[in-house]
Structure 1
C-alpha cells in the first residue's frame, strides 16, 4: 500500500479540498490540529502508479507503507471514543473497547484506518442523522404507521393513505462506504440488510475487515462505479457521503428510497444541490451545518415518512402544545 502526502497551509487545503475529493473521493484524509497554520493531506493507493498523477498535479511525496502499518500507526495511541446519541459508541483502539460490556452498542474501527473512523465532519453528521432517523426502529420495535410526507409546518395530518412502517425490518444502502462506518452503524441499529458500495477496491477491502473485526455479517459489500450503478429496488434509507457533483448526477437513481441522508457537500455548493433536489421532486426534512460542510436528510415527495415522531425530530411538524 502507498500513500500520497503533502503538507500545506490550511488556506491552500481549503481552496483545493473539493478538487482533491473529486480525484480521490473517500480516500482523501486531511490531518490538522487547532492553532496550526499547516495541515497534511493524504491519499491512499494500491500502487505507486495510481498516485503519480496526483503528485504531478498537486506536488507532494509518495511513501510506501509497511505491511503492519496499521499496528505501527496505532501503537501507543488512545484516541477518544465517538458517541452517536445514546445508541452507539465508536472506539478507535482495542484497549478502550475491551473495557465495554455491551458490545452491541459499540464499534471498533482502529485510528489508523485509511478511510476514516467517524471523526470527519461529513461522516459525523451522517451518523447522527442516521441515528435520529432510525430511532425506535428494529426487530423489537412496535407496529407503527407511515404518515404522509411533505407536510408543511403547522399543517394538520390526515389518516388517509397510511401504510405499514418498515420499523421491524428495514434496509440501508450506503454509497461511497469508505471504511464502512455508516453501514456498520446501520447494522448496530438493527437494520435487517445493508448494502455498501464503493468504486475503490481498497475501500471495500478495508470495510470488510472492519465488519469482520466487529463480527457483523449482514452487510453486502460491492465494488461499483456509481455513475453506471442502478438502484435495484425500493429501499428504506440511502446514505450517500459523496462530493456534490456526483450526488447531483445520480439523484434520479436515489428516488426509490423512502429517506435519503446526503453529505460531503460544501456550503458553497448548497444552493446548487438544493435546486437539484427540487428538480427531482425531493423534499428536505433537515439541513445540518458544521464548519464548511453540510448534511441533508430528505425524501422523495411521493413517498411516506416513517412515523410522526420522525417528522417532528427532523423539523417537519411542531410539537403539540399542552
Structure 2
C-alpha cells in the first residue's frame, strides 16, 4: 500500500532533504506532491533517481485525499496550513516550532518516545523537535534507562544550516569577503559568523536565555522526562552542516563507565566512536550526510557525584530534521495507518 505524501516547504534545505530521505528509505509513496510559496511554483525537485516533481502553490492547494503532510515551511506558515491539512484528513508531521509545546500535539523522536505518537489523533498533527534537542535526547535515552537523569548541562556548537540556506550563504560570502578584504556586513546573524562564534540563537527571553536554549529545556522535558533539569548555552559556529554538543549528565544514583558505554553502544540510532587517541572522535564535518547520532569523548566527571561528559554530533538536516520526520512517518504507517 502506498500513500499520497505532500512535502510543504519542498524547496528549502529541510524540504529537499525530506524528499531525498523518502527516496533513500524507499518510503511507500504512490504520489509525491511538492508545495511551496508562490515564488517557487513551477520549479522542479528530484525524487529518487528518475522522478521529477513540479512545485505547486501551497496557498492554492487542496489537501483533500492527501494521507501524510511533511511540513517545514516556517512557523508562521505552518500555523496556518498544518491545521488545514489535518482538517482535510491528512496526518501532519510538522518540523517547525509552532506546535512543539502544544499539550495536544505529541513531540516525537522515535528512538525515545515512539509510543507517544498515539496522541496524534487529538489534532492530526505530530511535532518534530528542535534539531539540537533531537540529537541530545537520542543520546540521553539509554542513559536515562540505565539510571535516572537528574540534570543536564549542555553547550551547543550549531552549524549555519540550522538558520536556512541564507545563513549558509552568509558564512560563505563573509569567508570569501575576508580573503578579498571586503567589509563584513552581517544580515542573517547579529555579528560576523566567518572565523567567529556567536552565543546567540533565536530571540532573547526575560531571564537572559535565548529561545533556542529554552526550546532545549522544555522539549527535553516533554520528550524524555519532566523531572530532568536542563541548562543550555546555544552557540552558532562557522560550520555549514552538522551540530555538535558538549553534554554533562548528572544521575540520581551511581553509574559505571563501562555500563554507560554498553548502553550507548546498544541503543538504536547511536554510533559510539570513542577512541582516546588522535582522530578517535567524530566532528560535524564527518557527520554531514549520515544518519546516526555520534557519541564520543565519554568520560566520568570527577567534580560531581554520578556524572558523565559526552560529545554528541549529528547532521542537523538529517536526524535533526528530515530523517526524524520520515522515521515518524514510518512509525505511523507501521502502527496506525496500515
Fold similarity call, TM over 0.5: no
| TM-score, normalization by structure 1 | 0.34
| TM-score, normalization by structure 2 | 0.33
- Larger RCO (CA under 8 A, 6+ residues apart): 2
Compare the two structures and name the one with the higher helix fraction.
2
